[in-house]
């Protein structure tokens, strides 16, 4: 049976020792977010995740959501609703939302911690509150006053939940192709008609209302992506005074049978002249969608992290308990019939890969969430803009790398179990199946890679990259001559210089051939991710040394950093070679020669 224990010590290390969040929260005006309160919130979130959500993870997978074709209703797995009620009662849905909408007004960085704990414990369940978050963000940013008044309080309170209705059968990435129509009703509302697919939490029995944020085209819409508008379209109609009326003309048509996250309802949603209200300006829906999407993308990155953490914990426990064969350098456990498999170098390789990617990834995520706080709350507008530029740059890296690493980590964790990992009993195969969605939804890895090298690098003359390279240089300068860090600072600086040059070289090639951007994108994304993690590992060693933590803690950080620099960071060599080979090896072959 798979267990879960919240990694509180490492979370606190990341927040307080590395990211200096206590001071940051104070500077940004989060008056309540003092150390004592933050500690208490984390403890309570951990308790909830460990004792309420984690035990429901397996039943969620085994029973899944159930669709009733007659009514269009979706029943969530046993226990899911009760857990959601407790979550709502505890005020967790509004942890980071504005107090004026009933939220707790806590920093996004703390929200990131909560997300990790929830997703480690029960990824499928975690999708229900996550989607509300994007809806709240979109309405906060673009909603009319009455919409904020009517929708935000129940969404923040969790008595209602939200969705993002983007994808249609023939279009996912390319939303310009969408066919859903919005026709004015004459009373300020619109009649929404069309079919949306892959709608997470599109229908379920956990909340009083479901607020769909739907992309659709107005009758006078210009063609393509510039003609998309956003509509708020609730399951039960909501009047301008906030009163809730009858069922809206929308209905779940079916739910998908998926590889994993069986406890998460993935719905086909049919809108049949449903009453909706425009959110933001006509034809500017994509802009509003990106507000939802960016927040969701950081969240999906944390889903990868959460799965990796839990898989690692179980792989580590098993590797310490399972006795099999003797150490190559002589018995380590002579009184027992065999040594625990953690003595074997290749098992250690698998475990250390997980540990290095999880603990480094935690910093990548929490730093990105901290930048969201800074982008909103720094006093200096230039500082806000810097934070915004940096988090925009780091969002595709965090989303894509952490989800791809969750594939690798859950693979390695399962592999530590040998054949036992493949059977359902141990829970490891569920993590691998659940992880598989994270590289697909909210923009595939390929889409993140294009976003990073295109919009976030080429289109902004590398503004985000320059800021990150500046962070590396600042850190390196601050520790110049520090013998304890020299083994990391030197290689990190070299990689930073190489990263800059690689970027310039690639953009130069792209100036004469736009395919070069796409051809480099995937490898550039991973190259970037590995250098970012090298920075966080070097900083982790420095922060551990500077902290009053135990020698064991410091040793663990240092040895893991050494492993990372010796065994993971060299993957950049392969990625760089692939980028440098240019577009020709990908583009030269005519499509008809790929096969029959």
Stretch that binds a copy of itself, among 117-125, 207-215, 241-249, 431-439 (CB under 8 A): 431-439
Q: Decide if 279 contacts 214 (C-beta within 8 A).
A: no
- Of the pair 269, 391, the CB lying nearest a copy of itself is at 269
Residues of span 186-245 touching a copy of itself by CB under 8 A: 198
- Of the pair 270, 327, the CB lying nearest a copy of itself is at 327
CB of 321 to a copy of itself, least distance (A): 11
Exposure string over 381-401, b if 16+ CB within 10 A, otherwise e: eeeeebbbbbbbbbbbbbbbb
- Of the pair 99, 418, the CB lying nearest a copy of itself is at 418
Tokens standing for 204?
């379920």
| Interface residue with a copy of itself, options 2, 102, 422, 505 (CB under 8 A) | 422
Contacts of 330 (CB under 8 A, 6+ apart): none
Does residue number 426 form part of the binding site for a copy of itself (CB under 8 A)?
no
Tokens standing for 457?
């690098």
Residues of span 334-373 touching a copy of itself by CB under 8 A: 337-338, 340, 342-352, 355
CB of 363 to a copy of itself, least distance (A): 17
For the beta carbon of residue 229, count every other beta carbon within 10 angstroms.
Answer: 23
Does residue number 450 form part of the binding site for a copy of itself (CB under 8 A)?
yes
Stretch that binds a copy of itself, among 156-164, 231-239, 274-282, 412-420 (CB under 8 A): 412-420
**Alpha-carbon distance values, 513 to 455, 508, 517, 582 (Å):** 16, 9, 8, 10
Say how far apart CA 342 and CA 315 lie, in whole Å. 10
Say how far apart CA 123 and CA 300 lie, in whole Å. 10
Which residues on adjacent β-strands are paired with residue 266? 200
Say how far apart CA 368 and CA 394 lie, in whole Å. 7
Helix (H, G, I), strand (E, B) or coil at 254: strand
Tokens standing for 488?
């990391």
Residues of span 457-486 touching a copy of itself by CB under 8 A: none
CB of 451 to a copy of itself, least distance (A): 12
Does residue number 273 form part of the binding site for a copy of itself (CB under 8 A)?
no
Say how far apart CA 578 and CA 589 lie, in whole Å. 17
Residues 562-581: x/- map of binding to a copy of itself (CB under 8 A)? xx--xx--xxxxx--xx--x
Stretch that binds a copy of itself, among 24-32, 86-94, 237-245, 507-515 (CB under 8 A): 507-515
- Of the pair 157, 520, the CB lying nearest a copy of itself is at 520
CB of 102 to a copy of itself, least distance (A): 33
Residues of span 4-63 touching a copy of itself by CB under 8 A: 5, 7, 9
Say how far apart CA 244 and CA 237 lie, in whole Å. 6
Given 359, 378, 429, 442, which residue is catalytic?
Answer: 442
CB of 280 to a copy of itself, least distance (A): 24
Residues of span 303-322 touching a copy of itself by CB under 8 A: 312-313, 316, 320
- Of the pair 461, 581, the CB lying nearest a copy of itself is at 581
Say how far apart CA 248 and CA 198 lie, in whole Å. 20
- Of the pair 97, 430, the CB lying nearest a copy of itself is at 430
Residues 94-133: x/- map of binding to a copy of itself (CB under 8 A)? ----------------------------------------
Active site residue 442: yes
Nearest to 209 by CA among 160, 139, 150, 147: 160
Say how far apart CA 205 and CA 184 lie, in whole Å. 30
What is the crossing angle of helices 123-142 and 108-121, to 10°?
150
CB of 398 to a copy of itself, least distance (A): 19
| Interface residue with a copy of itself, options 145, 187, 220, 329 (CB under 8 A) | 329
Q: What is the dihedral of CA 90, 96, 98, 104, to 10 degrees?
A: 40
Residues of span 244-263 touching a copy of itself by CB under 8 A: 256-260
Q: Decide if 302 contacts 123 (C-beta within 8 A).
A: no
- Of the pair 2, 327, the CB lying nearest a copy of itself is at 327
- Of the pair 81, 493, the CB lying nearest a copy of itself is at 493
The number of angstroms, rounded, from the C-alpha of 149 to the middle of its chain's C-alpha atoms is 29
| Interface residue with a copy of itself, options 131, 496, 517, 541 (CB under 8 A) | 517
Say how far apart CA 413 and CA 394 lie, in whole Å. 27
Say how far apart CA 579 and CA 564 lie, in whole Å. 22
| Interface residue with a copy of itself, options 371, 519, 532, 541 (CB under 8 A) | 519
Q: Decide if 203 contacts 71 (C-beta within 8 A).
A: no
- Of the pair 177, 383, the CB lying nearest a copy of itself is at 177
Does residue number 181 form part of the binding site for a copy of itself (CB under 8 A)?
no
CB of 142 to a copy of itself, least distance (A): 25
Say how far apart CA 458 and CA 559 lie, in whole Å. 37
Say how far apart CA 349 and CA 9 lie, in whole Å. 23
Does residue number 144 form part of the binding site for a copy of itself (CB under 8 A)?
no
Does residue number 555 form part of the binding site for a copy of itself (CB under 8 A)?
yes
Nearest to 417 by CA among 332, 311, 564: 311
Which residues on adjacent β-strands are paired with residue 232? 213, 277
CB of 545 to a copy of itself, least distance (A): 16
| Interface residue with a copy of itself, options 78, 184, 188, 514 (CB under 8 A) | 514
| Interface residue with a copy of itself, options 108, 156, 279, 407 (CB under 8 A) | 407
Number of residues binding to a copy of itself, judged by CB under 8 A: 105
Does residue number 440 form part of the binding site for a copy of itself (CB under 8 A)?
yes
Say how far apart CA 94 and CA 16 lie, in whole Å. 23
- Of the pair 292, 391, the CB lying nearest a copy of itself is at 292
Catalytic residues, by residue number, are 442
């Amino acid at each position: 049976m798979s267990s879960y224990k919240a990694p509180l010590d490492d979370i606190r290390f990341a927040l307080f020792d590395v990211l200096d969040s206590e001071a940051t929260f104070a500077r940004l005006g989060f008056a309540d977010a003092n150390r004592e309160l933050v500690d208490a919130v984390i403890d309570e979130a951990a308790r909830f995740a460990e004792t309420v959500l984690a035990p429901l993870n397996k039943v969620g997978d085994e029973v899944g959501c159930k669709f009733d074709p007659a009514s269009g209703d979706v029943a969530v797995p046993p226990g899911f609703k009760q857990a959601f009620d407790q979550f709502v009662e505890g005020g967790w849905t509004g942890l980071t939302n504005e107090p004026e909408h009933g939220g707790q007004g806590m920093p996004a960085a703390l929200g990131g911690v909560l997300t990790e704990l929830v997703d480690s414990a029960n990824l499928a369940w975690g999708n229900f509150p996550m989607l509300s978050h994007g809806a709240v963000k979109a309405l906060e940013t673009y909603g009319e006053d009455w919409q904020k008044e009517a929708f935000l309080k129940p969404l923040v309170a969790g008595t209602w939940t939200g969705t993002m209705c983007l994808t249609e059968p023939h279009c996912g990435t390319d939303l310009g192709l969408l066919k859903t129509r919005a026709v004015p009703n004459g009373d300020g509302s619109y009649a929404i008609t069309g079919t949306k697919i892959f709608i997470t939490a599109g229908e379920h029995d956990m909340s009083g209302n479901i607020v769909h944020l739907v992309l659709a085209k107005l009758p006078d819409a210009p063609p393509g992506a510039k003609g998309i508008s956003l509509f708020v379209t609730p399951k039960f109609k909501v009047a301008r005074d906030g009163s809730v009326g009858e069922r809206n003309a929308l209905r779940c048509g079916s739910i998908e049978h998926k590889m994993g996250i069986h406890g998460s309802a993935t719905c086909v949603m049919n809108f049949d002249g449903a009453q909706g209200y425009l959110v933001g300006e006509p034809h500017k829906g994509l802009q509003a969608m990106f507000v939802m999407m960016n927040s969701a993308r950081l969240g999906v990155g944390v889903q990868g992290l959460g799965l990796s953490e839990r898989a690692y914990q179980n792989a580590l426990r098993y590797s310490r308990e399972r006795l099999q064969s003797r150490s190559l350098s002589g018995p380590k456990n002579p009184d027992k019939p065999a040594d625990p498999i953690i003595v074997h170098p290749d098992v250690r390789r698998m475990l250390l890969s997980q540990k290095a990617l999880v603990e480094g990834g935690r910093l990548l995520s929490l730093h990105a969430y901290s930048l969201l706080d800074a982008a909103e709350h720094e006093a200096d507008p230039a500082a806000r803009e810097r934070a915004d530029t940096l988090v925009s740059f780091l969002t595709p890296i965090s989303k894509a790398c952490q989800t791809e690493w969750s594939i690798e980590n859950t693979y390695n964790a399962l592999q530590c179990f040998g054949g036992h990992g493949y059977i359902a009993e141990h829970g490891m195969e569920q993590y691998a199946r659940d992880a598989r969605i994270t590289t697909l939804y909210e923009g595939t890895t390929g889409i993140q890679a294009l976003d990073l090298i295109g919009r976030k690098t080429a289109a902004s003359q590398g503004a985000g990259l320059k800021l990150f390279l500046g962070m590396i240089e600042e850190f390196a300068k601050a520790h110049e001559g520090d013998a304890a860090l020299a083994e990391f600072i030197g290689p990190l600086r070299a990689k930073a210089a190489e990263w800059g040059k690689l970027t310039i070289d690639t953009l130069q090639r792209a100036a004469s051939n736009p395919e070069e951007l796409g051809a480099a994108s995937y490898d550039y994304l991973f190259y970037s991710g590995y250098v970012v993690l090298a920075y966080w590992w070097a900083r982790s060693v420095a922060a551990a040394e500077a902290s009053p933590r135990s020698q064991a803690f410091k040793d663990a950080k240092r040895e893991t950093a050494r492993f990372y620099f010796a065994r993971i960071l060299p993957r950049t060599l392969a990625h760089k070679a692939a980028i440098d080979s240019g577009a020709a090896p990908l583009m030269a072959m005519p499509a008809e020669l790929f096969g029959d």
